[in-house]
Amino acid sequence: MGRKSVDLSEEAYSRLKDVKTSRESLSETIMRISSDAQPRRNSIRRVCFVLWGYSFAIWLYVIAYQLSNNGDVYDPLAWWLPIRMDYLGEAAFVLSLIFALFAALQPFSQQSKGA
């Protein structure tokens, strides 16, 4: 494996030294930091897609319920839960949009070229 020279500002170098442990080199520190960021981004993206799927499914359920019950949107979700079906549908629709936008704005992970 070859070596490269990199110019760092004083602030960047001091931050890198603060993160570095006593047993690792600066190269190992950079490798550790750069590998830690990718799984976190991927997990945030996966969670957003799962939450989008659930909220979209709830929205579709509310639409199907309203169509099958002659458009009676004022029915409560359950007799013990005072949330109306139309409020649940609106909230699920808004949440599905928010989660879809948040997942779309997360950067894609880039596969390492050496693996």
Pairwise CA distance, residues 56 & 32, whole Å: 37
Answer whether residue 62 is part of any domain: yes
* Phi, psi (degrees; rounded to nearest 5) at 81: -120, 110
Does 6 fall in a domain? Answer: no
Task: Please tell me the total count of domains within the chain.
Answer: 1
Rounded to the nearest 5°, which phi and psi values hold at 22?
-70, -20
114 occurs within a structural domain: no
Range of the domain at 96: 11-105
pLDDT of residue 36: 58
Q: What's the mean pLDDT when you consider all of the chain? A: 78
In a domain, 99, yes or no: yes
Q: Are 103 and 48 in contact (CB under 8 A)?
A: yes
Kindly state whether residue 24 falls inside one of the protein's structural domains. yes
The yes-or-no verdict on residue 71 having pLDDT over 80 is: no
Q: Which residue has the higher pLDDT, 37 or 29?
A: 29
Q: What is the mean pLDDT of residues 45-71?
A: 84
